[in-house]
Amino acid sequence: MRRASGAVGLKEAVREHQNRQHLSPQQLEQLLAMQGVALERRRTPRRGLMSAVAGVVLAFAVGWLAVWSQLPPGPPVTELIADEVARNHLKREPMEVTTGDLPALRSYFRQLDFRPVDSDLLAAADTRLVGGRYCSLQGHIAAQLHFMTAAGDPGTLYQARYDPEVFGVLPRPARGEAPATVEARGVAVTIWVERGVVFAMAGAGP
């Protein structure tokens, strides 16, 4: 009998110990609720920081747009082209190829994304090609052709592939539009589009 009584007492002690180690459903819900509050408290500062950063970025964007809208418009593209052509015309960099033959010039300018062409507008002009060199016009590869006038004065003729997104709207003599002539650095620069090519000439007029 003592053994049986001792065995019963041991089982009760084990059950009591297990009951102490396990949480009741209510205690478990309370613990989970406390953990949720703690997690929410941890997330709140991050959300606040993100909101503050978003506010700063939005304020900067609004301020930049306000300043940009009040900036004066930039110079017309014809003025930019004329200034670039006049500057290089006055420098008179040495030619890379010396020939007055257009087919020979085309063979030299193989790296261009277009072919140098004859100009109908210049067909009657008393000028003579003497050579050329690679150059750029508004950041795009171009051919800088050198020529001489009948009076012996040097001239410069730029040719570049016409891209309206780069050069904007330029006059086209084939449509009856007169070339644009812009004074830059004391040099008259004539600009037009012909056969899909931009022409910009300094030192003589068409």
- Please determine, for residue 100, whether its predicted confidence score (pLDDT) is greater than 70: yes
CA atoms in the 13 A half-sphere facing the CB of 160: 23
Q: Which pLDDT belongs to residue 2?
A: 47
CA atoms in the 13 A half-sphere facing the CB of 86: 17
The stretch 95-101 carries a mean pLDDT of 95
pLDDT tens for each residue of 121-157: 888 888 899 999 999 999 999 999 999 998 889 999 9
Residue whose C-alpha is closest to residue 196's, from 156, 161, 171: 161
The stretch 51-67 carries a mean pLDDT of 59
Q: How confident is the model at residue 60 (pLDDT cuts 50, 70, 90)?
A: low
CA atoms of 54 and 97, how far apart (whole Å):
58
Provide the token pair at 93. 């960099």
| Domain residue extents for the chain | 2-70, 77-202
**Do 165 and 154 contact (CB within 8 A), yes or no?**
no
Residue whose C-alpha is closest to residue 136's, from 160, 120, 172: 160
- Please determine, for residue 173, whether its predicted confidence score (pLDDT) is greater than 80: yes
* pTM of the predicted model as reported, rounded to 2 decimal places: 0.64
